[in-house]
Amino acid sequence: MPYKVDARGLSCPQPVVLAKKAVEQTQEKVIEVLVDNAAARENVSRFARSAGCQVEVLPAADDEYVIKIIREPGATK
């Protein structure tokens, strides 16, 4: 089960803060961040890449996006 973060409706940069916390404080290999605007989608994706993770963006219903952050072995925390 991926670790899920619901960051819908939050102002910039709270989605990034939550995603960062999830990456730093959990051991899950896959973290899914749910966002509801393009700016948050870009910010979270950019954070995840800069943290050395793989990123997949999946469109969800109603202008929402699931950002799948896939931790790679040896990724910087």
Residue from 77, 75, 56 nearest 67 by CA = 56
Q: Would you say 19 or 70 has its CB closer to other proteins?
A: 19
Instruction: Tell which one of 10, 30, 57, 60 touches other proteins (CB under 8 A).
Output: 10
Min dist CB 50 to other proteins, Å, is 5
Tokens of 33: 């961040």
User: Which stretch, 17-25, 52-60, 65-73, contacts other proteins (CB under 8 A)?
Assistant: 17-25
- Going from the C-alpha of 15 to that of each of 7, 41, 46, 59, the distances in angstroms are 5, 9, 12, 17
Q: How many residues bind other proteins (CB under 8 A)?
A: 29
